[in-house]
A and B are shown apart, each in its own frame.
Chain A
């Protein structure tokens, strides 16, 4: 839930990157962290296992600038993608303002993508959210891999509602900021609408 502080003149919003294990959620945040001016970002926190798999969440606070004298701050979170961390994923969705679903384009990860997307809908519903009414964008990551599925197939399977969608290669940064900007704009637009 966005938090508006009229005293410090700040708008704070929470964006969650969701998706199956190893789809590149953490890589998205790492790229954003690496390419953002030091004054616009806080420390990136990764609660990960020894093998660098996300255990609880990654967290990156970003300051985007001012709107009408209010500083806009976005808190970016990732969830742990592995199936058995479902309880943790639910917790991280609390208070979410916008969601990025990061899909793994590799053809053999299609089932994992679908399962994760279903899981997102269920977990959001448990918190009283409807994915179709939330600011939501889809990112097709790993487009550079030779075993990437055709884009049309991904769109049909993973984005039937035609949410804004982006191709990406998070390791090089391709599509990463386009995705972030799109979801951030949707969040602010939704706030204006009184969401």
Chain B
């Protein structure tokens, strides 16, 4: 996962997540960096604590990755948790980000898996594009403009 995100690619990612939510009849879709930062969300997320969900999911994926190492497996690319009303499908996108789909009886695991695969391929291509842009494009970093005063001002209570 790139460590920057630009408006153009963010919009493309958002569109893919929205389409995935619609095409898979999901309640919500989240795209999360492997360290737990939320990149995009779509669907019925108003009632969700997205930040907490992202952090816990990333922890879950990290723990599963640790288990795969112990078992000499390259990785477990997806997980599925079945609840009474809500189910959750978690998958790694090109080993760089985590795609989370929350769904209920309006959808099925098979449909979600199918749609996730297509979305993951598209997302992978966008990540590559962002990485290329971040490396070649001399985007002015906001950090070069930050002064000591800016940092100090954050902590003025």
Contact = CB atoms under 8 A, between A and B. Distances in A.
Contacts of A8: 10
Interface string B133-147: 000000101111110
Interface in A74-97: 75, 87-88, 90-92, 94-95
Which range holds the interface residue count of chain B? Answer: 35 or more
A94 B35 CA distance: 7
Interface string B99-141: 0000000000000000000000000000000000000000101
A94 B95 CA distance: 14
Interface of B: 3-7, 10-11, 33-37, 39, 49, 51-52, 55-56, 59, 62-63, 65-66, 139, 141-146, 150-155
B154 A194 contact: no
A8 B39 CA distance: 10
B55 A67 contact: no
A194 B139 CA distance: 13
23 contacts: A3-B5, A4-B3, A4-B5, A5-B10, A6-B4, A6-B7, A12-B37, A42-B52, A56-B59, A59-B56, A61-B52, A64-B154, A67-B151, A70-B142, A75-B37, A88-B66, A92-B62, A95-B34, A95-B35, A185-B155, A188-B151, A192-B143, A194-B141
Most-contacted residue by chain A among B4, B10, B142 (CB, 10 A) = B142
B143 A191 contact: yes
Given A6-B6, A75-B37, A42 B49 contact: yes
Which range holds the interface residue count of chain A? Answer: 35 or more
Given A1-B3, A7-B10, 7 more contacts: A4-B3, A7-B7, A14-B36, A43-B51, A59-B52, A95-B34, A184-B155
A64 B157 CA distance: 10
A59 B34 CA distance: 15
A14 B151 contact: no
A3 B59 contact: no
A30 interface: no
B116 to A, nearest CB: 23
Contact of A45 (B10, B37, B55, B65): B55
